[in-house]
């Protein structure tokens, strides 16, 4: 029998309420409270197909360049590091997705930059490096009173329970310790999402990929955005021509936050910001 879901609207004793009605505000609220949200990236089927073709082109070139044996020996064969720096406007545009940036503006106070972009393949019937619980600021056990870093995991393919969709522990960004094994067993949630969605996570939320028991690979592109006080995983400005980017795009990709190489350079930058 179909039971329509109803949520009571009446309330009493409430003096304060969070505000927000736009998709970006609601996603940011969900990230703050639960540690995650799902967002439609706005790609139509043709753009999604173009992105899949680009994913394969860049991955192929990457394996040619760095070598399958070498990448496997480093447990890096299923990852393409920093694809936006491999001459790919499609990956740059993915990192600058308007729906994600609007949400980040609501979720992170002040400025934020892209820390890293990684294309990921969860292969069928093979070990997967991300299939282990972690935070995306790994080895950290502090909690922040507001998000300092947000992970935007783009689903290149549908994420399903069969192909190893991402597991999360809701609200675990609010606790310093990794929870007990029984708690993990009872509270882990697998996030199924359509291709073309972003799964947004507070970076301190514990999560992992699942085992892919389908016959096809599950592809994703992960992004970490953070306040500009963390080092980028790979120096993006040093590997990307600024000429192809608008000033706003450069700011998000970290061009304005590179370490000044000297006191002179620091003071010159102060002057230009006055």
Q: Which residues bind ligand AKG (CB under 6 A)?
A: 120, 122, 130, 136, 153, 166, 207-209, 220, 222
Q: Residues with Cβ < 8 Å from 40, sequence gap 6 or more?
A: 99, 196, 197, 198
Least Cβ distance, residue 207 to ligand AKG (angstroms): 5
**What is the 8-class DSSP label of residue 193?**
B
Least Cβ distance, residue 272 to ligand AKG (angstroms): 36
Strands (E) located in 126-174: 149-155, 167-168
Least Cβ distance, residue 236 to ligand AKG (angstroms): 17
- Cα–Cα dist 35/203, whole Å: 8
Instruction: Measure Cα distances from 230 to 6, 56, 159 in Å.
Output: 43, 30, 30
* Torsion sign (Cα): 146, 40, 87, 61: positive
b vs e for 238-270, b when ≥16 Cβ sit within 10 Å of the residue's Cβ? eebeeeebeeebbbbbbbbbeeeeeeeeeeeee
| Closer of 39 and 243 to ligand AKG (Cβ) | 39
Least Cβ distance, residue 163 to ligand AKG (angstroms): 10
Least Cβ distance, residue 151 to ligand AKG (angstroms): 7
Least Cβ distance, residue 121 to ligand AKG (angstroms): 9
Contact between residue 214 and residue 163 where contact means Cβ atoms under 8 Å apart: yes
Least Cβ distance, residue 118 to ligand AKG (angstroms): 6
Contact between residue 214 and residue 191 where contact means Cβ atoms under 8 Å apart: no
| Closer of 51 and 120 to ligand AKG (Cβ) | 120
Taking the CB of residue 170, how many other CB atoms lie within 10 A of it? 16
Sort strands 113-122 and 149-155 into parallel, antiparallel or unpaired: unpaired
Q: Which residue is nearest to ligand AKG (CB)?
A: 209
């Amino acid at each position: 029998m179909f039971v329509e879901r109803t949520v009571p609207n009446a309330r009493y004793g409430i003096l304060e309420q969070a505000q927000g009605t736009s998709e970006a505000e609601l996603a940011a609220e969900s990230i703050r409270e639960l540690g995650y949200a799902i967002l439609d990236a706005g790609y139509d089927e043709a753009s999604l197909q173009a992105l899949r073709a680009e994913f394969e082109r860049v991955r192929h070139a990457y394996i040619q360049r760095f070598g399958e044996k070498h990448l496997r020996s480093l447990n890096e064969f299923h990852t393409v590091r920093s694809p936006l720096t491999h001459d790919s406007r499609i990956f740059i545009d993915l990192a600058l997705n308007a729906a994600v940036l609007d949400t980040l503006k609501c979720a992170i106070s002040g400025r934020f930059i892209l820390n890293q972009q990684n294309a990921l393949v969860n292969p069928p019937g093979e070990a997967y490096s991300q299939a282990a619980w972690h935070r995306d600021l790994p080895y950290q056990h502090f909690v922040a009173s507001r998000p300092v870093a947000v992970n935007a995991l783009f689903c290149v393919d549908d994420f399903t329970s069969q192909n190893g969709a991402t597991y999360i522990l809701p609200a675990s960004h609010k606790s310093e310790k990794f929870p007990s094994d029984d708690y993990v067993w009872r509270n882990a949630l697998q996030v199924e999402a359509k291709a073309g969605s972003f799964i947004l996570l507070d970076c301190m939320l514990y999560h992992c990929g699942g085992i892919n028991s389908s016959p096809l690979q599950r592809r994703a592109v992960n992004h970490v955005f953070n306040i500009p006080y963390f080092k980028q995983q790979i120096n993006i400005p040093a590997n990307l021509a600024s000429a192809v980017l608008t000033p706003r795009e450069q700011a998000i990709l970290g061009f304005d936050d590179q370490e000044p190489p000297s006191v002179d350079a620091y003071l010159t930058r102060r002057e230009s910001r006055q």
